[in-house]
Amino acid sequence: MFKLFKTPSFIRWMVPRRTWGFSSSETLYLTFDDGPTPDLTSWILDLLKEKEIKASFFCVGSNAKKYPELMNRMVQEGHVIGNHTMKHENGNKTSKEDYLNSIQEAAKYIDSNLFRPPYGRLPVPYVSSIRKEYEIIMWTWLSYDFDENVSVDEILIKSQKQIKGGDILVLHDNLKIEAKIKELLPIFLDDLIARGYQFDVISSFS
């Protein structure tokens, strides 16, 4: 099945009122979804600290509730956190009331006005209600690190060809892909650094 690593501009145009990327020639916005998880998120934080990179973590509320020490560490080390619903609900398969309640429940453990919908699935009728409290953060480049049919080498090749300044990059810190992320991330970051990119967090919007 064909994979769209880079989000086409026409999709961004068709789905407005969401942040898809930024205007920058030299800055990238590294994001991680689904954590925190004890071993992998800690390993990622150690690597980011070593390379002096800040990232934005879109956390699932149930995980944030279990691991408050990791949530605190992210913030203390200069990273940004965002809401990713309480139980990683798919907006296309969840009623509006239940979906909004999930976001509110997650907010008890995630102090942020940034939100990313799991799977990128967010029905248009839900958007106005969410935007009353959150900036909806999407992405311009998806790593497919979660897909067992996509190799580390393929991800690296796609990144070298497609990633440009201003892109929001999506990776994951869930345990299902721990071995793959540990192989991928150091090479991935070193390559982007060698290409002259710097990294920044996605700032909270007022």
For the entire predicted model, the pTM comes to 0.96
Supply the pLDDT for residue 22.
Answer: 94
* Domains recognised in the chain with CATH numbers: 18-199 (3.20.20.370)
- Helices 152-162 and 178-194: crossing angle in degrees, nearest 10, is 30
Report phi then psi at 166, rounded to 5: 95, -10
- The single residue of 33, 145, 167, 173 carrying the catalytic annotation is 33
Residue 84: active-site member: no
Supply the pLDDT for residue 203.
Answer: 85
Task: Tell me the per-residue pLDDT of 61-115, one tens digit each, with 9 for 90 and over.
Answer: 999 999 999 999 999 999 999 999 999 999 999 999 999 999 999 999 999 999 9
Residue 46: active-site member: no
- The single residue of 79, 84, 88, 172 carrying the catalytic annotation is 172
What is the rounded average pLDDT of the residues 33-58? 97
- Residue 25 burial (10 A CB sphere; 0-12, 13-18, 19+): exposed
pLDDT band at 161 (very low <50, low <70, confident <90, very high): very high
Q: Has residue 46 got a pLDDT over 80?
A: yes
Supply the pLDDT for residue 206.
Answer: 40
Summary mean pLDDT of the chain: 96
- Tokens representing residue 22 in the block: 């930024």
